[in-house]
A and B are shown apart, each in its own frame.
Chain A
Amino acid sequence: MDIQLKRGLLDICVLAAIKGEDSYGYQIIKDMKPYVEISESTLYPILRRLESAKLLTVRNAEHNGRLRKYYHITDLGLKRIEDFKDVWQEIISIYNFVTREEDK
């Protein structure tokens, strides 16, 4: 898949992974695994990018005597997911147009 496209899609996936409730790095990777493979070293820059774009916030919480970073989606992040859905509708209709000849 085109790298630029995949990067954008992974951003949305990570946002979707923390949409329901706050989550942490390892859990995000596990939740995404059935749908899309993402490595730890791929996730790290995405989290940093989403944080600096204010699409998510980070808080530290104690877990088993150590600190764990939990990621919380912001309103801006939620909006990004909605925007993505709209864009995807457009892409589906473009796909339908592209493949219309093949169906005949």
Chain B
Amino acid sequence: MNKQQFLAELRKHLFGLPQDDIKQPLDYYAEIIDDRIEDGISEEDAVSDIGDPKEIAKQILIDIPLPKLIKQKIKPKRRLKVWEIVLLALGAPVWLPIIIAVVAIILSVYVVFWSVVASLYAVNLSVAFCGVAGVVGAIIYISMGKTAEGMFALGAGILCIGLAVLMFFGFNQITKGLLWASKKVLQGVKSCFVKGDVK
């Protein structure tokens, strides 16, 4: 790789940064390479010793504060032309519903997650309630002299209580999993907008 190729490669990987943040490292590395060549090192060696331009660009990006990076991502690379603004305004009936739809989808994913969690605990609660009702029923049956029915209700009630306790732990795990999954979904959506680069 010669000097020009190195600098072009570096510039390519810094694309999108403010002009100053691109020019400064390019000037620095151009000067270093020139000085090395002046010192009697061949251009090829002078460049290759410096390292991979991609790695160097990554390091430069890491050192740039995050707010600046994000602002750069959101800001358009250039001023919008008049016809683009007109097109944006005229296109509002098209892109506005799309954005609303995307937001609605994200929202509904959340609602689904939470309603699954809510229904799980509702089931748990009702099984627990059945258990208590069974035991209470058993006491009433037995006090009324219906021993067989009372025993049946007692067994069913205790079974339900046991089931409810086991369910509670199971559902806790499921809820944890769902929360994790919903976080992943949100991260996935976010990564669509902030492509690649430095995390």
Total contacts A to B, CB within 8 angstroms?
44
A25 in contact with B63 (CB, 8 Å): no
- Chain B residues with CB under 8 Å of A68's CB are 31, 35
The answer to whether A25 touches B59 (Cβ under 8 A) is no
Asked if A20 is at the interface (CB within 8 A of a chain B CB), the reply is no
Cα A64 to Cα B25 in complex, Å, equals 21
- Inter-chain contacts of B149 with A (CB < 8 A): none
If A26-B39, A40-B50 touch, whether A45 touches B59 (CB-CB below 8 Å) is yes
List of A residues within 8 angstroms of B50 by Cβ: 39-41
Question: Is B40 interfacial (CB 8 A cutoff)?
Answer: no
**Known interface pairs A41-B59, A48-B63. Does A26 touch B35 (Cβ–Cβ under 8 Å)?**
yes
Q: A25-B31, A67-B27 are in contact. List 5 more A-B contacts (CB 8 A).
A: A39-B50, A39-B51, A40-B51, A44-B29, A67-B31
Interface positions of A from 7 to 59, Cβ below 8 Å from B: 24-27, 39-41, 44-45, 47-48
In Å, the complex CA distance between A40 and B63 comes to: 15
Task: Flag if A26 contacts B59 (CB, 8 Å).
Answer: no
Contact between A40 and B27 (Cβ–Cβ < 8 Å)? Answer: no
Which residues of B does A touch, CB under 8 Å?
24-25, 27-29, 31-32, 34-36, 38-39, 49-51, 55-56, 59-60, 63
Q: Decide if the interface of chain A is mainly helix, strand, loop or mixed.
A: helix
Of all chain A residues, the one with the shortest Cβ separation from B36 is A26
The closest CB in chain A to the CB of B30 belongs to A66
Judge whether A45 and B31 touch: CB under 8 Å: no
Q: List 25 A-B contacts (CB under 8 A).
A: A24-B35, A25-B28, A25-B31, A25-B35, A26-B35, A26-B36, A26-B39, A27-B35, A40-B32, A40-B49, A40-B50, A40-B51, A41-B51, A41-B59, A44-B25, A45-B60, A45-B63, A47-B28, A48-B24, A64-B38, A67-B27, A67-B31, A68-B35, A69-B27, A69-B31
Nearest CB in chain B: distance from A62 CB, A: 12
Name A42-98 residues within 8 Å CB distance of B.
44-45, 47-48, 64, 66-69
Q: How far is the CA of A67 from the CA of B32 in the complex (A)?
A: 11
A41 contacts B56, CB within 8 Å? yes
- The complex places the Cα of A27 from the Cα of B36 at a distance, in Å, of 10
When distances are taken between beta carbons in the complex, the residues of chain A under 8 Å from B59 are 41, 45
Tell me whether A40 and B31 are in contact (CB under 8 A).
Answer: no
State the CA gap A66–B37 with chains docked (Å).
13
Please indicate the chain B residues that have their CB under 8 angstroms from the CB of A69 in the complex.
27-28, 31
Cβ contacts under 8 Å, B32 to chain A: 25-26, 40
- Give CA–CA (A64, B34) in the complex, Å: 10
Select from chain A the residue with minimum beta-carbon distance to B51: A41
Residue on A nearest B50 in the bound complex, by CB: A40
